[in-house]
Amino acid sequence: CMVTYALSPRLMFLAVTFSQHLGSCRLPFCAWPHAQEGSTESSLPTLRMFSVLLPFVGVCTVCAILSCFHIPWASLDLAMTQLSWANSTFHVPWVRIPYAGEWGWPLLTPRALAVGVAMAICCSMNSVGCYVLCGKLLQAPRLPPHACNRGVCMEGLGSLLAGLLGTLGGTASSIANACTTGLTQAGSRLSVQISALACVVLGMSPRLAGLLTHIPLAVHGGVLCVTYAVAVGTGISYFQYTDIDSGRNIFIVGFAMFMALLVPRWFGTALTRLATGWVPLDLLFLSLLMVPVFLTGFLSFFLENTVSG
């Protein structure tokens, strides 16, 4: 459907326009009081602060209007149509408080432990990268090691709680959220607390959480295109701290990035699976080798400390 292909570029166009072209535009009727100074700032860069939220709401509103007029904007695939009906939220309760062991207790089998250890390593590496990325985008001082340790520790506790509640995934930092903070420059603790409170409310309301399944895939794609572009650009900006003209550094960067893209692709299409003779060890290696973040970090660390120069 041609309408579907127009939704994602429209969201990206609005997000880029609000955050970059109109980032310094200040609306006179939007002011922010300063409690400590007792003054009020004349205006705020409202379009930049809501450069992701406003396009998101606008495109979702367009999708709702098209649905009211029975204009097919979603995918015409029959499987996707059946999935949307299967995820209907009309027969679920508004409030449901989860409790530990409701869906059974976690099974600590060797296979589960192998996959859990692999995911813990990858999530820790990804989370530390998100911390550095967020600080770089907000031009904040360098994070001390103990702050990163506290963040990773809290994510580990969140993953344990998620396992007790019976969820399929744990907690980890999101690159898209960190890049959204960079686009909006809304790095206050209050915004993070409000987002966390909203997630808790959604977790206790199956009907509200079910509405998330009705967000068009084009909207997801548009948001990820804009946010991950910021992540790529920020990563490239760190080359200024290295001698990029050095053949050694060029090889390390190129080899690590290329292998991180190639190895997961190869394992995904390989006809024969990895076999060491013990299934938990196979799952451990396969879980690590399928994650580009781990491959990039491991190869970069190994080559940086073994290649002379």
For 54-64, the pLDDT digits (tens) are 999 998 888 88
Tell me which residue of 309, 300, 292, 175 sits closest to 239, measured CA to CA: 300
List of residues 6+ apart from 271 with CB closer than 8 A:
none
- The predicted pLDDT at position 45 comes to 80
pLDDT digits (tens, 9 = 90+) for 218-247: 888 889 999 999 999 998 998 888 888 899
Integer Cα distance of 60 and 41 in angstroms: 32
Minimum mean pLDDT range among 71-85, 150-164, 224-238, 252-266: 71-85
First to last CA, the chain: 54
pTM listed for this prediction = 0.82
Within 13 Å and on the Cβ side, how many CA atoms surround 156?
Answer: 14
Integer Cα distance of 197 and 212 in angstroms: 16
The mean per-residue pLDDT over the stretch 131-157 comes to 91
Mean pLDDT of the chain: 84
pLDDT digits (tens, 9 = 90+) for 91-141: 778 888 888 888 888 888 999 999 999 999 999 999 999 999 999 998 888
Sign of CA dihedral 177, 182, 185, 188: positive
User: CA torsion angle for 190, 218, 132, 293 (degrees, to 10)?
Assistant: 140
The residue type at 215: I
pLDDT band at 217 (very low <50, low <70, confident <90, very high): confident
List of residues 6+ apart from 83 with CB closer than 8 A:
none
- The predicted pLDDT at position 228 comes to 92
Higher pLDDT, residue 35 or 144: 144
The residue type at 151: G
Q: H/E element holding 39?
A: strand 39-41
The percent of residues above 70 in pLDDT, for the chain, comes to 86
- For the cut 70, the answer to whether the pLDDT of residue 73 exceeds it is no
